Structure 1
């Protein structure tokens, strides 16, 4: 496979742009192709079979675009379907997951909290992570319904958002949580608001930089790193209206990217 091919990134919406941003910092010379399946979001309300089928079709689309590797920028897809996807495709698939292990190493109080969608928190894979890395530490799960929708609507700092965060986080903070794990790629766009609500003594762990570093490692391992002077190009495909996606992406990343319409991927 040619190293000149792009790297694909997929998410149920625009939240994965937080990971795309870190991949771009880590790999400035790679071409990145991002799929935002915003018309079908949120995935957390979908069945496991639907998520597996839909994400496979998006990866098929990315492979058809020539992608040499795919990054799953959606914790829900990772939680319910990454194993099947890796079996189905013969290109590297790198997936994000909540950073419980680093959070356990950081906590001083012995209590950490994972913020995520209900579907992610209910998954067997997350419970396995807690058993594997959470020995001796209390790992609290904090369901955050509606937070991803606020990011999609560019509500990143409103009074209503702060009130919602206070309601969501107060029980975990009262139990002594001093480390918060961002278990959804939408949440890094809310990190300033989360920090204000949580307080100065609480650390916030975003797994995106570590995933971006893993993408570099995997590409290097397989001889697929692109060696060139020119900076890479970011391209975006969306299943939602392109004008709306263009405005949302511009607001989140403070830059204008080319946005194209994702073609129909079959009946779901």
Structure 2
């Protein structure tokens, strides 16, 4: 099983932010990435729909012979991870907003969280916030429309900047010093966010932490690929391949292919 690929899925192309961290930390691993853009965004769907889509993606990755699955989607993790782990006998890694480090390190005691409705309304997010942010004011904002613009290849447009500014302004007014990105699409907006925020605001996403956890679980289960060659990577989308190709065009250091796939 060591030679089998790592499987990763997201509700669209945003999960490639996690994929990049994993391939950087684990350069000898092969990966298969599924961008479920046909059904994006998950954040506006019901818990039942999100769970059904997550099962669909998991079963496709198992069909493609993956040895471990990374749910590179906050909404899918917070709504479906329990069902996936209880259904499939394979290591499954999830992702959720990094409230803990923000709550521990904030000096102003004000932390912003930008996420989808599906994540912010989930039971898992509520439990995490209650556990780590009891004495912190958490300013939660639903990033309606952001995923759609990224999926349409409009991540650096006037429309995106105006929308993003409307979401960030209430947080700036509250004097946040940490901004937690609760959607794997959002790291692609960090350059724009840095233009809008002061140097005193730290932006946190979960990419590096998920990559480290993936490596730890591979080692624990004796699944780490021992080959010396650089890994091969296959990325699939059930929508137009243009957006997926465009969002990857800054990463030329590894070998990958982008293909359309009906799933």
Same fold by TM-score, threshold 0.5 exceeded?
yes
Equivalent pair of 1:114/1:141 in contact (CA under 8 Å): yes
Match of 1:130 in 2: 129
Equivalent pair of 2:153/2:243 in contact (CA under 8 Å): no
Give the drift of 1:75.
Answer: 0.6
Matched, 1:247 2:263: no
Q: How does 1:76-115 map to 2 (within 5 A)?
A: 76-115=75-114
Match of 1:150 in 2: 149
Give the paired residue count: 262
Match of 1:260 in 2: 259
For structure 1, which runs of at least 5 residues remain unmatched after alignment?
none
Q: How does 1:25-36 map to 2 (within 5 A)?
A: 25-36=24-35
Q: How does 1:170-249 map to 2 (within 5 A)?
A: 170-242=169-241, 244-249=242-247
Equivalent pair of 2:152/2:243 in contact (CA under 8 Å): no
Residues 205, 250 of structure 1: CA spacing in aligned structure 2 closer, same or farther, 3 A cutoff?
Answer: closer
2:13 counterpart SS class: coil
Match of 2:166 in 1: 167
Give the drift of 1:168.
Answer: 0.6
1:77 counterpart SS class: helix
CA distance in 2, matches of 1:121, 1:146: 15
CA distance in 2, matches of 1:142, 1:87: 31
* Superposed CA offset, 1:148-201 (max 9, x none): 122222323333322222211111211121100010000101101011112211
RMSD: 1.6
Give the drift of 1:248.
Answer: 2.9
* Superposed CA offset, 1:221-240 (max 9, x none): 11101111100111011111
Equivalent pair of 2:13/2:244 in contact (CA under 8 Å): no
Once the two structures are overlaid, the 10-residue window that deviates more, 233-242 or 13-22, is 233-242
CA distance in 1, matches of 2:256, 2:24: 16
Residues 100, 74 of structure 1: CA spacing in aligned structure 2 closer, same or farther, 3 A cutoff?
Answer: same
Give the drift of 1:50.
Answer: 1.5
Give the drift of 1:252.
Answer: 5.9
CA distance in 2, matches of 1:174, 1:246: 35
For structure 2, which runs of at least 5 residues remain unmatched after alignment?
none
* Superposed CA offset, 1:22-56 (max 9, x none): 00111000001000011111112222112111211
